Structure 1
């Protein structure tokens, strides 16, 4: 028994060390990302804000992991000598350092999107790195099948191991009164996901192309999953989409924008199914699989047209954004993929990851990437609206040119808000006679909360246009919610001079009454439909919430000043300052049903 245990430990150590020698920088990237994630976990929110480099290290470690994995695959493909291998390592490290240096101090949404796109490109590249210019299609499929199954196995092992160790820690805490800090569970998770999961996955990566080409194994479980789970789901998607296509043809109406998501889900699931069943599509007894393989791309053409119409309608009305750009590019890629597999005599499945990686790279980093195209589209829309309303004259902003219709004001507000949150105002700074960059810099009153600065920058730009931020008053949204943001409510300062009492009250549709006592004076608060009643001993004050809701509905929720949400009620017995902190409910035809009301009351009782 002792010999068996020693042998097992020796084999385990040999396998782990062998994997490290095959993928040293991959595992070092995993170590670096895990260490940064654990260190960040131990910091407070304020400390994380003061150390933004940690987040960049975590993301770039993920990039480095898959980058060095791909480089090791290329090393194996071209049989690079040690010197060339080291050169590839230094090249990869130089790329990561340069990328880190080019990233801004505070990552924004576009930076995250680019990082995710880069990860996608590298993952796709890893799938075909060893098989470029090779007619080893079976080896390509066997390699990716092995990766696919290895990922699932690694995730299963990691999940079970974490659950077991977490329960063990709880047992130590409960049975032996050993104080286990809550952060330990998070640290354990990062170690298992970052290090163990990566190491376990790498240990099972096949690297012998010749051996892969000779392999013809097809897991029975994979066939069952594809044939009895994935293909039926794709068929259901297909029936739903064709039924919807028939509906819009009969009604002669534009397709809904949401159908784009369903078409993309159907396409992705269908292509994945075809890749999974590729080696067995012509085997005897697989008639259903052969039928699916033959007709899938034919069935895809009408749905690509449906997808194109749906996204084109949104683009024609509201211009291009990053999300619509992605859908347009995917629609184009699906069209080209369908054409290739229908009319090409080769029909090589490597076409799918190769073309998708190229398109993903161009969409994120190319000269006509999603960010440049989206900004150009929205700036042009804004220019057209401002010229139409006489605010932009001969290329310069002239504010105060009369009343702007609500429809135009809503669109101008939406575009300005989009530019503030997703881009900057570099594309329109020449329109202003003032230095708009100084105006924007002065609007950044809170360096810690970037979202608030975005809102302030948007409002500052609109103010230079002589406009105020407005949303559609007749919004079809059923729910409404107004008030101060969490940041505002946690940092409120009230001037209470002249008032004797300050009290917070919370009313909602179930508990619509609250009894209070101010010294010896009773006060009963009642929420009745759209009215708030404040009943004292000798009089009742009333605040009508209906016009307040109507007024606030034209502005952005949770981005208002305290002054705007303050109302003063005066009577013979008392004067009350009512500060709305939260007002939410549902719209029911012409009326609004208030479901939740939080107010702060400052009360002065008259002698």
Structure 2
């Protein structure tokens, strides 16, 4: 009963009065989730969750500050504008999520003189509040789950379904979790200015994290010396390794500002980490430049570039002001993430433009781009270049913006027979690192005169399955598809997962000695699935595989996907 009594104590009047807007968006997020689940209405829950976080940060920002009403209105309007913009940048919403969490970490210290220790203590307290809220919610949910399982087993009540558990989880984590977190937040004004003396905190910093930074630095400098002496190019993932290094350094320096007593190693890191960061910054820049010049910008490389800009800014700031400032680090990272997610220069757009330009340069190199127009290849291209072209086209095809740029470059219509049209237009065979080495089991296709019945299907897609997850858009939603465990084809549509065992299909075809798919047997490769209001038809056109240890391993497959959502509102 003590636990439930403590839960009850969290529902105080103060938490509702301090964060009134949050308690407007909270039920809206829950209602939106249920409306989408049971009535197929457009799911707006994530936007209400965004609004919840923004409302918390704004309340923390204006609390105990003499701010005019017009200025408060401007802040609210700007917050809602960012939510509105996030709807148009589907592929970079993870940046927006991060920017909101960063804003939460420093919003209460804006327009206010603060020290590193105050901001550090606030964020440590927030982590404690989040942990308390999360574990309390999990414990409560486990308790409900136990009661549910017991009642269902003992009384065999049919109306109890797993959907009830999902609904309870939604209410718990969208309702109870925020209340528990906010109730912890209001109990302090975060005017902590004392250093931290806790033994555990001191041990972690002095004897684990600080030595880790020291060893990490030595390893990097040894590698830098090696490639300099041998005049080698940096390895491909060096940029990622250096970014991890700098992230750990910044985290350790932030935590060290709150330490009451230091040893020689922690003092050394605080005094000299700025200077021993210069060489890694140089090699980070070289490594990123090398990869980008070879393969263009992708979303992951954009993240590395953004991190490098942040590290360089912090380095310059410390060299000028001779101090590390947590507030400055958080605000600068917030600006970078917001820029990377909600501007025309966001990670996705820049990566699409870069890959489209890279594809264009390959065409120019192979005399396939003449008079501002892409023409078919006059001769068979080397396997490496076919793989490169296929990889870029796959990357661009996986998003709305990418398809737009591909259509603009190739000047052809992008329709349901996407891959057939594109590669036929280019006179290039679809090639991957697997297909160039592995033979195709289904060696012959006579499908040009076969029309797949698309009646009663609203959506159709030509898709290529591999071990990497891809997504395709229908309206303002998308579905994902991927190949798993060298066998299982996965389709996730409308939050429902459908699986097809390609290995089993292949073994069946081998037993029947089928090597050619034509109008006499193509129906063996057509699979229909119906689940509630969702109807799916999948036509497998091709499968690439090899025999490994007397076991079939499937690397990729081509197919045509048709589906329809009935009674959609």
**Normalising to structure 1: TM-score of the pair?**
0.67
Aligned counterpart for 2:161 among listed residues 173, 178, 181: 181
Q: Is 1:409 aligned to residue 405 of structure 2?
A: no
- Cα distance in 2 for residues equivalent to 1:215 and 1:386: 63
Q: Please say if residues 584 and 597 of structure 1, whose CA atoms lie closer than 8 Å, have aligned partners that are also in contact.
A: yes
Aligned counterparts, 1:186-585, within 5 A: 186-206=166-186, 212=191, 219-249=198-228, 251-280=230-259, 283-284=260-261, 286-422=263-399, 423-427=401-405, 429=407, 436=412, 439-440=413-414, 443-444=415-416, 456-472=417-433, 584-585=545-546
- Cα distance in 2 for residues equivalent to 1:428 and 1:474: 23
Aligned counterpart for 1:140 among listed residues 119, 138, 141: 119
Aligned to 1:128: 106
Closer/same/farther in 2, CA of residues 412 and 299 from structure 1, 3 Å limit: same
How many angstroms does 1:582 deviate by? 6.3
Name the structure, 1 or 2, with higher relative contact order (CA <8 Å, separation 6+): 2
Q: Please say if residues 34 and 191 of structure 1, whose CA atoms lie closer than 8 Å, have aligned partners that are also in contact.
A: yes
Larger Rg: 1
How many angstroms does 1:340 deviate by? 2.0
Aligned to 1:70: 57
How many angstroms does 1:473 deviate by? 5.9
Aligned to 1:556: none
How many angstroms does 1:201 deviate by? 0.6
Q: Is 1:151 aligned to residue 130 of structure 2?
A: yes
Aligned to 2:9: 12
- Cα distance in 2 for residues equivalent to 1:130 and 1:341: 24
How many angstroms does 1:542 deviate by? 11
In structure 1, runs of 5+ residues without a counterpart are: 104-109, 445-455, 493-503, 508-513, 515-524, 526-531, 535-540, 549-561, 567-578, 587-591, 599-607
Closer/same/farther in 2, CA of residues 371 and 237 from structure 1, 3 Å limit: same
- Cα distance in 1 for residues equivalent to 2:314 and 2:330: 11
Closer/same/farther in 2, CA of residues 431 and 202 from structure 1, 3 Å limit: closer
Aligned to 1:501: none
Q: Is 1:21 aligned to residue 6 of structure 2?
A: no
- Cα distance in 2 for residues equivalent to 1:91 and 1:207: 28
Q: Please say if residues 484 and 582 of structure 1, whose CA atoms lie closer than 8 Å, have aligned partners that are also in contact.
A: no
- Cα distance in 2 for residues equivalent to 1:9 and 1:153: 11
- Cα distance in 2 for residues equivalent to 1:9 and 1:256: 54
How many angstroms does 1:343 deviate by? 3.6
Q: Please say if residues 129 and 181 of structure 2, whose CA atoms lie closer than 8 Å, have aligned partners that are also in contact.
A: yes
How many angstroms does 1:420 deviate by? 1.4
Aligned counterpart for 1:30 among listed residues 11, 26, 29: 26
1:539-586 CA-to-partner distances (Å, cap 9, x unmatched) read: xx898xxxx9xxxxxxxxxxxxx97999xxxxxxxxxxxx99866457
Q: Please say if residues 383 and 436 of structure 2, whose CA atoms lie closer than 8 Å, have aligned partners that are also in contact.
A: no
Q: Is 1:171 aligned to residue 150 of structure 2?
A: yes
In structure 2, runs of 5+ residues without a counterpart are: 439-465, 468-482, 492-497, 526-539, 555-569
Q: Please say if residues 95 and 341 of structure 2, whose CA atoms lie closer than 8 Å, have aligned partners that are also in contact.
A: yes
How many angstroms does 1:460 deviate by? 2.3
Give SS of 1:312's match.
helix
Count residues in correspondence.
480
How many angstroms does 1:359 deviate by? 1.1
Closer/same/farther in 2, CA of residues 162 and 228 from structure 1, 3 Å limit: farther
Give SS of 2:551's match.
strand
- Cα distance in 1 for residues equivalent to 2:385 and 2:296: 15
Aligned counterpart for 1:59 among listed residues 42, 46, 56: 46
Q: Please say if residues 341 and 347 of structure 2, whose CA atoms lie closer than 8 Å, have aligned partners that are also in contact.
A: yes
How many angstroms does 1:86 deviate by? 6.7
Q: Please say if residues 483 and 582 of structure 1, whose CA atoms lie closer than 8 Å, have aligned partners that are also in contact.
A: no
Q: Please say if residues 483 and 583 of structure 1, whose CA atoms lie closer than 8 Å, have aligned partners that are also in contact.
A: no
Q: Please say if residues 399 and 465 of structure 1, whose CA atoms lie closer than 8 Å, have aligned partners that are also in contact.
A: yes
- Cα distance in 2 for residues equivalent to 1:83 and 1:366: 26
Give SS of 1:402's match.
coil
Give SS of 1:212's match.
coil
Closer/same/farther in 2, CA of residues 533 and 370 from structure 1, 3 Å limit: closer
1:169-211 CA-to-partner distances (Å, cap 9, x unmatched) read: 22333344445422222222222221111111111115875x6
- Cα distance in 2 for residues equivalent to 1:484 and 1:184: 29
- Cα distance in 2 for residues equivalent to 1:365 and 1:166: 40
**Normalising to structure 2: TM-score of the pair?**
0.71
Q: Please say if residues 85 and 342 of structure 2, whose CA atoms lie closer than 8 Å, have aligned partners that are also in contact.
A: no
